[in-house]
Homo-oligomer: A and B are copies of this chain.
Amino acid sequence: MTLIDKARRGQATPAVKQVAKKEGVDVKWLIGEIAAGRVSIPANNNRRGLDPEGVGAGLRTKVNANIGTSRDRCDIRFEKKKLGAAIEAGTDAVMDLSTGGDLRAIRRAILDACPKPLGTVPIYELLVSNRSKCADKIHIDIEELFDIIEHQAEEGVDFMTIHAGLTFKAVELLRQKPRVCGVVSRGGSFLAAYMAIHNCENPLYENFDRLLKICRKHDVTISLGDGLRSGALADAHDRPMMHEMIVLGELSRACREAGVQAIIEGPGHMPLDQIEANVKMEKSLCEGAPYYVLGPLVTDVAPGYDHITSAIGGAIAAAAGVDFLCYVTPSEHLGLPEPEDVRRGVMASRIAAHAADIVKNPRFAEWDRKMSVARKALDWDGQKALALDPRAFDRFQPLQDKKHKKGDKTCSMCGEYCAYQLTDNVI
């Protein structure tokens, strides 16, 4: 039985109880949301040592950090450093997007070291396998692909991105009106090219029932990939993208009926005034399924700062109902991230998630209130203890300026003209 099956029978698994406790929500309510497909708790049957997290409406907005090797950078120790940086920074989930080196060894090492739900994109393993086996880069051996998926499920991968919603019709729509930035998802681009070359349907769409069987068996959560997410503001909400979202809605229903948890993936690059509409569309078309976006990035012009462009879009998206934010690091559009980029990416996404949670439910604003009380009291230890990133205090050291007088609690910004002190005992 999967988590959904058990939820439908009113059973609370240890993972459900743990999530309810962490979130401060009622277990019965949580069971109902899981049964209805509005909350997912990615937790593979075969996974050991997992600290489970719930994703969906009514829960804290979660953050995912992508790590993984590529041809140019392929070193397990380096990936473990990035994993450590992501966990230390407070990520709620991790995806291994490796495409270089011994993918299975890397995945095993990450699974062993990661206490949070781990996701993958199985089709990447097919891409890498193709390279060594055949001259035709754009090749899909469906048996091999399902072997890869099954093997990853057996290894304990908690959620998998599957680009089954990108159908041949969408390829036709892409041809009708070419995009500024084309297809920017690697998996999406591969599948679209395959369909275009072979004039055929997406094999993952055609074999979705087979996929559901594997995911049921190991209780893998399917993250329905958005292969046609917009990679430029100019491409947001074009017909191919919205066609895919409709199909994702159908597939999320199929997951639900099969007792398989699902999460829907979303964009991408998008003008900020279109974000709310996008989220409402997903919640409507996918019947309230958890929504997981990459960004959204609200401008295309800021490489080096895309953790910030994404924090803007992510906060707006999460406030509108997005449940899960995939981080974007400062190195996005430029290359693979360093551990410090991973750290900054997670922090920026956590800011976006929390800024949205405050307006989703007043219980999340209590943290801010406590910080403000400490701030007004010039209680620097209290502020550090409450800070999203206590390490920020090590860099700035408010009270350790050379000229600082002993016993003075004001910081170097205002010093004796501290606004808090001017009105103390007066108003």
Contact = CB atoms under 8 A, between A and B. Distances in A.
B419 A367 contact: no
A412 to B, nearest CB: 4
B315 A397 contact: no
A108 interface: no
Contacts of A419: 182-186, 188-189, 231
Interface stretch (A45-53, A259-267, A372-380): A372-380
A427 B358 contact: no
Contacts of A391: 304
Which of the listed residues A124, A301, A311, A418 has the most CB atoms from chain B within 10 Å of its own CB?
A301
Contacts of A210: none
B124 A417 contact: yes
A302 interface: yes
Copies of the chain in the assembly: 2
A373 B418 CA distance: 49
A101 to B, nearest CB: 12
Interface residues of A toward B: which range?
Answer: 35 or more
B192 A301 contact: no
Nearest to A399: B335
A142 interface: no
Contact of A417 (B127, B181, B411): B127
B301 A315 contact: no
A141 interface: no
Contacts of A258: none
A348 B305 contact: yes
Given A70-B414, A70-B415, A302-B347, 7 more contacts: A72-B403, A99-B417, A127-B417, A304-B396, A305-B389, A333-B383, A336-B413
Interface of A: 70-73, 99-100, 124, 127, 131, 137-138, 171, 174-175, 178, 180-186, 188-190, 192-193, 196-197, 231-235, 269, 271-273, 298-305, 307-309, 311-312, 315-316, 319, 330-336, 347-348, 351-352, 354-356, 358-359, 365, 367-369, 371-373, 375-376, 383, 386-389, 391-393, 395-398, 401-404, 411-420, 422-423, 426-427
7 contacts: A100-B415, A182-B376, A197-B426, A231-B419, A271-B365, A272-B356, A302-B351
List the 7 shortest-distance A-B pairs measured between CB atoms, nearest first: A304-B392, A232-B372, A334-B396, A189-B419, A72-B412, A71-B415, A298-B355
